C-alpha cells in the first residue's frame, strides 16, 4: 500500500494588490489584481489565519526576501530591483 498522499494541482494567481485586516482571533489577507484601466481592481483570494501563523508567515517572508536580495538584487519597494532602469 502506498502511504504517500497525492497533492492536488495548485492554481497560481498573480497579485499586485493587497488588503489586510485583523480581528481578535484572525488575520485576513486579501489578494487581487489591480489594473491601470477602467477595470480597476479585482480581489480573487482571501487567506485567513490565526495570529501565530501570520507572525510565522512574516518571519518566512523576511528570510526569503533577505535571501533574494543577497543572491539576486535589492528590491525597490516601488517595483522592480535596483539593477533595473
> Is the pTM higher than 0.85?
no
User: pLDDT tens-digit profile of 7-25?
Assistant: 888 889 999 999 999 999 9
Q: How far apart are CA 9 and CA 7, in angstroms?
A: 6
User: Would you call 74 helix, strand, or coil by DSSP?
Assistant: coil
User: Would you call 71 helix, strand, or coil by DSSP?
Assistant: helix
Per-domain residue ranges of the chain: 14-49, 54-85
**N- to C-terminal Cα separation, the chain:** 56
Per-residue model confidence (pLDDT) at position 78: 78
pLDDT band with cut points at 50, 70 and 90 for residue 6: confident
Per-residue model confidence (pLDDT) at position 49: 98
Which residue reads 477595470 in cell numbers? Answer: 39
Q: How far apart are CA 25 and CA 69, in angstroms?
A: 33
Amino acid at each position: 500500500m502506498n502511504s504517500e498522499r497525492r497533492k492536488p494541482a495548485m492554481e497560481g494567481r498573480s497579485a499586485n494588490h493587497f488588503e489586510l485586516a485583523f480581528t481578535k482571533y484572525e488575520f485576513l489577507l486579501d489578494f487581487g489584481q489591480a489594473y491601470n484601466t477602467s477595470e480597476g481592481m479585482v480581489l480573487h483570494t482571501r487567506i485567513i489565519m490565526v495570529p501565530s501563523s501570520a507572525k510565522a508567515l512574516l518571519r518566512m517572508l523576511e528570510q526569503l526576501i533577505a535571501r533574494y536580495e543577497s543572491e539576486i538584487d535589492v528590491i525597490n519597494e516601488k517595483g522592480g530591483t535596483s539593477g533595473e532602469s
